[in-house]
Structure 1
Amino acid sequence: MKNAKPLFENTYEKTVFSKLHERYAKDLHDFIYYKFGEQYNPKDKVQEAFMRLWENCKKISPEKAKSYLFSVANNTTLNTIKHRKVVLKYESNASKNNSNIQDPQFLLEEKEYLNKYQKALSNLTEEKRVAFMLNRVEGKKHKEIAELLGISRKAVEKRIYSALKQLRRDIDGI
């Protein structure tokens, strides 16, 4: 783009911009409409492409305007499609999670699991339970737990490991 003449010498040269709009707006609309369909608002994508052209008019030569417009409209539409997919995925995950919460069988199993977990925790020795809870519930690292309890890091690791082993044994299905 060394020798590329800017689209506008000054940003108020609207005649060049108007001619570009007259020349490419319909083709750009049809391109988006035929490629993606009406549900992605081809008129909005055309308008957005021309707005971006206007914002970047000093960087784009008239010869490059058409490819710039089509690229912007295409990319904008693809971004909209990606966004919709993310939204749909989130909504489907949320509905799955909500359906489990409302399901009486799920609620019963959850309550049974919680009871098993609490009973298994109470079966742990105090040393194992404290180390395990500090690590898993409060998120403390082994080094921090060792300093808190005044024991070696290896002792903390052994307590947590043996607590996990005992919990797995006491609670079936984990």
Structure 2
Amino acid sequence: MYKVEVPRKYDIQQLILGDESTFSMIYDQYSEKVYRLAFRFLKDREQSEEIVQETFINLWLSKEKLDPNGNIWLYLYVIGKRLSLNALREICKSADLTKKLLFNIAEAQNNCEEDILVQDLEQFIEKAVNQLPRQQQLIFKLSRIEGLSHKEIAEQLGISPNTVKNHMVEALKTLKSNLKYADLVSFIILMFWF
């Protein structure tokens, strides 16, 4: 299990003293979290990366004011959130930037919905494949998941390529008939997957 290294009191004291290696360690440990925080507000990759840079510049420039017993993540969170909200205020002053933000929010929401749909479809397909007769299931997985040709499957299983083809035809027929109850989008995605 991956363990997150928490900056110790000593590390914060080292940062206050201007130790660059401590600053680098804190950057490596928290930059991704600051990015996610900024992205939650801005929905823009480039702007979120800028917020990360500004946050750590602010941390470095105000390091002497830090409490040695404080919480680095709390400092970074406050700075990152403030910078993100300031960026949002600037966006709201521009009609074009506001339009871009709204588009990015809608796109992020659509991507989330598409991810959920794809996950649901993958689970549905996996269930349908697992209900195929054992030989069809094996041949289908070797063909569609492993990417083997009919000839390679035939050699691996010690059967004729024609038998592999027949099993694939039957497997696809069964899967398509199971999908007649799935919605149109799922069917289109399935056809793309096949």
With the shorter chain as reference, the TM-score category is 0.3 to 0.5
Q: Larger Rg: 1 or 2?
A: 1
What is the TM-score of this pair, normalised by structure 2? Answer: 0.38
Q: Compute the TM-score of the two structures, normalised by the length of structure 1.
A: 0.42
